[in-house]
Amino acid sequence: MANRLAIPIAELALPRACAVCDARPAKLFKLRITQNIDLLFARHERWYTLPVPLCLSCHKRRIWISIAGWSLVVVAFLALAFGGLVLAIDYDSPFAAVAYGLLFCLALFGRLGLDDLLTWQAVGLHGVLLRGSPPRARLAVRRVDLFNKLRASSPNARPA
């Protein structure tokens, strides 16, 4: 479950502890908080980079989750591409169209949502820049105690 907070960018700062496990931080992960219009091949984007402290173990875990997630998508992509080709050429099967439909959906997911999903799995944070002035972000925070700390540290933060 996610707790969402609308918070001015100027007040957005995470505590100096690992954002996942509260241990002593060793690395900073740059979380991109974006506002974008994504048209698949053209993208208009504004973003703010939030430094997220991570301990060494959570930093390594984040990298492995990212590698595993992308590897899985690439393997599935190749399997669908090859399977679709075999179905179309060798068997003249209508299931080739299904394979290529799935391939298209997978490519779309890889392009638009995979990084966010993997970051959410690894770090438990996701941010979107909100329109308006002053600049604000809507931040989803998995850890309830971190959510409460952020809410307490920012006078203008509101649940969103």
Residues that bind Zn ion (CB under 5 A): 18, 20-21, 23, 55, 58
- Is there a contact between 45 and 35 (Cβ–Cβ < 8 Å)? yes
Q: How far is the CB of 18 from Zn ion (least distance, A)?
A: 3
Query: Whose Cβ is closer to Zn ion: residue 6's or residue 17's?
Result: 17
Please give the Cα distance from 25 to 10 (Å, whole number): 22
| Minimum distance, C-beta of residue 20 to Zn ion, in the bound complex (Å) | 4
Nearer to Zn ion, 52 or 55 (CB): 55
Least distance (Å) from Zn ion to the CB of residue 22? Answer: 7
Please, which residue, 4 or 27, has the CB nearer to Zn ion?
27
* Least Cβ distance, residue 50 to Zn ion (angstroms): 17
Task: Give the distance, in angstroms, between the CA of residue 43 and the centroid of all CA atoms in the same chain.
Answer: 17
| Residue 26 CB contacts under 8 Å (≥ 6 apart), including other chains | 54, 55, 56, 59
C-beta atoms surrounding 101 within 10 Å: 12
Closer residue to Zn ion, CB minimum distance, 55 or 140: 55
Contact 53, 16 (CB under 8 A): yes
